[in-house]
């Protein structure tokens, strides 16, 4: 089951001319994401019935914590600021589901689980800034808080339909981990239906994310 969802990349027709993998798409749009970093492998597919809401399925495998999470996730666009040359967004992202542990001290245990957090971003055609936090509760299996921030710049400004390139720096704060901070330089490419980003953090762990939207 893990292999199936970690291999899931999805299908799509168009990604808007923006740099972020949006948690809410256009009305009637589907988005499929495969996200992989030093801590977690995940797959997420969601449908947006409106321009302010999406609902879908989220799978996560937390490697060091050794548990899986299967959840229904809802994303809500709380506020959008559209300016002449920039855009900013504020989202609420929440999920509820079931966690299953393979860790030594909770091996075989299954528990109800949930998470919630806020995400915000600002961007124009040259620069990008984002912040996100999340609290996860999974009964006796685990509970933890994380937050992350990202900045990015594009070395060139392309036209619609071009290959777009962004250089980014991602900083993640996990207070309960032995290493509280993880810093990941990465490069992002998107063109047409595809968005891909790859990098390596200060612990030598690989980040690889892929998004397909239709």
pLDDT per position as a tens digit, 48-87: 999 999 999 999 999 999 999 999 999 999 999 999 999 9
Q: Fold for domain 2-213?
A: Porin (2.40.160)
pLDDT for 203: 94
* pTM summary value: 0.87
pLDDT for 21: 67
105-142 pLDDT, tens per residue? 888 999 999 999 999 999 999 999 999 999 999 999 99
Are 92 and 79 within 8 A, CB to CB?
A: no
pLDDT for 106: 87
What is the spatial distance between Cα 16 and Cα 92, in angstroms, rounded to a whole number? Answer: 21
**Residue 61, burial from CB neighbour count under 10 angstroms (0-12, 13-18, 19+):** buried
pLDDT(27) > 50: yes
pLDDT cut 70: percent of the chain above it: 90
pLDDT(12) > 80: no
Give the domain ranges of the chain.
2-213
């Amino acid at each position: 089951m893990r292999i199936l969802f970690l291999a899931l990349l999805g299908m799509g027709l168009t990604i808007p001319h923006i740099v972020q993998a949006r948690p809410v798409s256009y009305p009637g749009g589907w988005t499929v994401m495969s996200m992989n970093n030093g801590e977690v492998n995940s797959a997420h597919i969601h449908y947006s019935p409106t321009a302010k809401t999406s609902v879908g399925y989220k799978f996560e495998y937390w490697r060091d914590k050794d548990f899986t999470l299967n959840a229904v996730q809802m994303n809500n666009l709380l506020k959008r600021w559209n300016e002449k040359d920039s855009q900013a967004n504020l989202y609420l992202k929440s999920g509820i589901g079931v966690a299953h542990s393979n860790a030594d001290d909770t091996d075989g245990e299954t528990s109800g689980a949930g998470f919630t957090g806020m995400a915000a971003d600002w961007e124009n055609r040259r620069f990008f800034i984002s912040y996100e936090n999340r609290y996860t509760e999974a009964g006796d299996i685990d509970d933890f808080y994380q937050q992350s921030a990202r900045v990015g710049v594009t070395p060139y400004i392309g036209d619609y339909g071009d290959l777009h390139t962004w250089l980014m720096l991602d900083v993640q704060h996990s207070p309960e981990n032995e290493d509280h901070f993880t810093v990941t330089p990465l490069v992002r490419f998107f063109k047409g239906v595809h968005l891909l980003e790859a990098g390596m953090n200060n612990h030598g762990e690989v980040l690889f994310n892929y998004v397909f939207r239709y």
